[in-house]
C-alpha cells in the first residue's frame, strides 16, 4: 500500500494575526463569504472588516445559524452566490468551520479556516461532520482537500475558557498513541494510505510538546494571556494533532470515545475529555509500560482532564454500562480494529474497568 500524508496548504499562527488576515487572504481571492460564529463576530467583526478592507478585499458577512446541516449549507450557498463570492472564510468553533469547509467544497471554492478555540484537532482536516437541523449526527463528509489556509489568532484562543484548551490537550494526547498503533499494525489512515515517517514524527512531537508545555500553557489560558508555552500547545492541539490523526491514523482511544457516547451519562463532557479516558483505556488494552500510564494520567490530572469514570459522571451500574461502551467501541468499521492485535469487546470491557481503577488509585495517591 502507498504511504500518504496530507495537510492544509498553509498554517499561520500568532497573537493578533487576524489584523493581518487580509494580507494572507489576498492571494487566494478578491471576494469572500465570511461564515462566523455570532459570538465571535460580536468582538471580531470590526477587525475582520478593517483587515479585509485594507487589503482591498470585498466581503459578505454571514452569521452562522448554529448547526452544520445541509439546510444551513444550502442557505449560505445562496448568500455566497448572490454576493458573488469566490472564496469562503470560516471563523469560530468546530461546527462553523465544518460548515465553511463543506460549503466551499460544494461550491468548488477555496476555503480559509480561522479557529477561535483550540479544543479539538478538526480544523486542519479534510472532513466535515454533518448534522440534522435538530442536531443529530447525519453523516461524515470526506472532502477531497484539506483547507487551503488555517489561521489561528492565539490572543483570541487565550481569551476562551481554559477548559476548552484542556479538552484540546485531551484530543491531542491520543494522537501519538493511536498513530503508533496504526504504524505497528500497518493500518490505513484517514488519508487513505499507510502512515509516513513524517506523520509519525509529527504525532510524536505532539505528545512531547504536551508533556513539556501543557501545564505551563494552562496557566496562561487561566489568565487569558499568550505565552510561548501557550503558542506551542495551540500548535500541538491544532496542527500537530490535526495532521497526526489524519495521516497517522486513529485506533482504540477514539473508538472508546465513540463507545462512551452510547450511554447518556457523559454527553455533557467535551470530545477531548472523553478521548483522554479513551487514551488511558487504550494504554491498558495494549499493556503499555507502567511509566507511560503514569505519565499520561499525571498529565491529564495536571490539566484537569478526567482519569476515572466518575470524572465523566459515570457512577452507577458501571458493569452494565461498560458492556454497552465496549460493544459500541468494537462495532464493525470502528477504528479500534486498526490496533495491531484483534480486539474483542471482552478485552475492552476489562481495559475500561482497569483504567478506571488505575485512575482512582492515582487520585488516591495525589489528593
Ligand atoms: Zn478527536
Q: What is the pLDDT of residues 132-151, one digit of tens each?
A: 998 888 888 999 999 999 99
pLDDT on residue 69: 96
Distance in Å, CA 107 to ligand 1 centroid:
27
pLDDT on residue 98: 96
Distance in Å, CA 242 to ligand 1 centroid:
9
Task: Check: CB of residue 223 under 8 Å from CB of residue 160.
Answer: no
271 appears as a binding residue in the annotation: yes
The tens digit of pLDDT for each residue in 70-108 reads 999 999 999 999 999 999 999 999 999 999 999 999 999
Q: Which residues are catalytic?
A: 171, 254, 257, 271
162 appears as a binding residue in the annotation: no
Domains in the chain (CATH in brackets) are: 10-158 (3.40.50.1970), 161-366 (1.20.1090.10)
pLDDT on residue 337: 97
What is the Cα–Cα distance from 68 to 71, expressed in whole angstroms? Answer: 8
pLDDT on residue 45: 97
Q: CA nearest 158: which of 112, 197, 117? A: 117
pLDDT on residue 338: 97
Burial of 343-352, coded b for 16+ CB within 10 Å and e otherwise, reads bebebbbbbb
Distance in Å, CA 275 to ligand 1 centroid:
7
Strands 137-142 and 127-131: antiparallel
Distance in Å, CA 167 to ligand 1 centroid:
10
pLDDT on residue 367: 86
Name the strand (E) or helix (H) holding 137: strand 137-142
Distance in Å, CA 120 to ligand 1 centroid:
6
Task: Check: CB of residue 199 under 8 Å from CB of residue 179.
Answer: yes
279 appears as a binding residue in the annotation: no
Cell of 286: 495494549
pLDDT on residue 145: 94
Distance in Å, CA 29 to ligand 1 centroid:
31
118 appears as a binding residue in the annotation: yes
Q: CA nearest 243: which of 8, 13, 10? A: 8
**Sign of torsion, CA 77 7 341 362?**
negative
127 appears as a binding residue in the annotation: yes
Residue numbers in the chain where pLDDT is lower than 70: none
240 appears as a binding residue in the annotation: no
Amino acid at each position: 500500500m502507498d504511504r500518504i500524508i496530507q495537510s492544509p496548504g498553509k498554517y499561520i499562527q500568532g497573537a493578533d494575526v487576524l489584523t493581518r488576515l487580509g494580507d494572507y487572504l489576498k492571494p487566494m481571492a478578491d471576494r469572500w463569504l465570511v461564515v462566523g460564529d455570532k459570538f465571535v463576530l460580536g468582538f471580531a467583526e470590526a477587525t475582520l472588516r478593517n483587515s479585509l478592507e485594507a487589503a482591498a478585499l470585498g466581503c459578505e458577512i454571514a452569521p452562522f445559524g448554529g448547526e452544520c446541516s445541509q439546510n444551513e449549507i444550502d442557505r449560505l450557498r445562496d448568500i455566497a452566490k448572490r454576493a458573488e463570492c469566490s472564496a469562503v472564510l470560516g471563523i469560530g468553533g468546530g461546527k462553523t468551520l465544518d460548515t465553511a469547509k463543506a460549503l466551499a467544497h460544494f461550491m468548488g471554492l477555496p476555503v480559509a479556516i480561522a479557529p477561535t478555540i483550540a479544543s479539538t484537532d478538526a480544523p486542519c482536516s479534510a472532513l466535515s461532520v454533518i448534522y440534522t437541523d435538530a442536531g443529530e449526527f447525519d453523516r461524515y463528509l470526506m472532502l477531497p482537500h484539506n483547507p487551503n489556509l488555517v489561521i489561528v489568532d492565539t490572543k483570541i484562543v487565550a481569551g476562551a475558557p481554559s477548559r476548552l484548551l484542556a479538552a484540546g490537550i485531551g484530543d491531542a494526547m491520543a494522537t501519538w498513541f493511536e498513530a503508533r498503533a496504526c504504524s505497528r499494525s500497518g493500518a490505513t489512515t484517514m488519508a487513505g494510505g499507510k502512515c509516513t515517517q513524517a506523520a509519525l514524527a509529527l504525532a510524536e512531537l505532539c505528545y512531547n510538546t504536551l508533556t513539556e508545555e501543557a501545564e505551563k500553557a494552562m496557566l496562561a489560558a487561566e489568565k487569558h494571556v499568550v505565552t510561548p508555552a501557550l503558542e506551542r500547545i495551540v500548535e500541538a492541539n491544532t496542527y500537530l494533532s490535526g495532521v497526526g490523526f489524519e495521516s497517522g491514523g486513529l485506533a482504540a482511544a477514539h473508538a472508546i470515545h465513540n463507545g462512551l457516547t452510547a450511554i447518556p451519562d457523559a454527553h455533557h463532557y467535551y470530545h477531548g475529555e472523553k478521548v483522554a479516558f479513551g487514551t488511558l483505556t487504550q494504554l491498558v488494552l495494549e499493556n503499555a509500560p507502567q511509566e507511560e500510564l503514569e505519565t499520561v494520567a499525571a498529565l491529564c490530572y495536571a490539566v484537569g482532564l478526567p482519569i476515572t469514570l466518575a470524572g465523566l459522571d459515570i457512577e452507577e451500574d458501571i458493569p452494565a454500562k461498560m458492556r454497552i461502551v465496549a460493544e459500541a467501541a468494537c462495532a464493525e468499521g470502528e477504528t479500534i480494529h486498526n490496533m495491531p492485535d484483534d480486539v474483542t469487546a471482552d478485552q475492552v470491557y476489562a481495559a475500561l474497568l482497569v483504567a478506571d481503577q488505575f485512575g482512582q488509585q492515582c487520585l488516591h495517591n495525589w489528593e
